[in-house]
Structure 1
């Protein structure tokens, strides 16, 4: 083994297959959203999860301001949605794949999971922020395959 460079580290981590999700929120700057693959459960007592976002992103700033986010875990048919929310386009929400909950939180239609989360703590991790959050509502759809991310590719078959 050798001391890793940032390129070595990125390549090594690309071998860890992950699910893909979209996080959304609303702040004084309007609706913001981003595609993420850094998501994990933390605790069952209390219920906690963790997401990671680049601190330079508009979505990071919006979640830091609002204190909440909508989380949509994407199914295998959502590759275009993942790319849409990974882009820097201003009209991410001008789409028929968006649905809103009673409180106005945006979610992706037909996502495997739709979860409303309240931020309880924020940590700094280099270029990224880690938001620890408590889910306040959840909806699960059981009958679809997940969208996976592996070696820089979306939609890897399992």
Structure 2
């Protein structure tokens, strides 16, 4: 057995294939966005989902300020969107890649699914904030050929 180090843990977790989403929020620093794979449904009663963001990220700060954010679940052909929103928010273009709704949420254009949410609880998990949130609206942009973007072994890949 391998001893559990942060590198071994990261490697082990990279073997868990997951979908890819972009989280968007607007705070006092302006519009922010982050690519994540730490996203999951929690409960159907009450409707609850969770995301995890590094506590130092601008997107995390914006969500803490407003209690609201948008989730865009990416399609298999949106790897460029995943890369655009990965890393720091400074210098990211939002007008070119995003659409806005009447409630002030914004999302990646043509994502498989767009969900607007409100935070119901925040927990700290090491270096990350865990946001438990309630969906307020959902919009689908998919057809029979639509496939999700998948993250596996540290790389974006097409769904199987």
State the TM-score, normalized to the length of structure 2.
0.94
Worse-matched range after superposition: 139-148 or 7-16: 139-148
Give distance in 2, aligned partners of 1:95 and 1:30: 13
Query: Secondary structure at 2:40's aligned position in 1?
Result: strand
Provide, for residues 135-154 of structure 1, a one-character-per-residue CA deviation record: whole Å limited to 9, x for no partner: 00001233211000000011
Runs of 4+ in 1 over 4 A off after TM superposition: none
Instruction: Report 1:16-95 matches (<5 A).
Output: 16-88=16-88, 90-95=90-95
TM superposition score normalised by structure 1: 0.95
Structure 1: where are the runs of 5+ without partners?
none
Structure 2 unaligned residues grouped into runs of 5+: none
- Aligned counterpart for 2:151 among listed residues 100, 124, 149: 149
Cα RMSD after superposing both structures: 1.2
How far is the alpha carbon of 1:89 from its aligned partner?
5.0
Q: Alpha-carbon deviations, 1:70-114, whole Å to 9, x = none?
A: 000000111011011003252323452211111221101111110
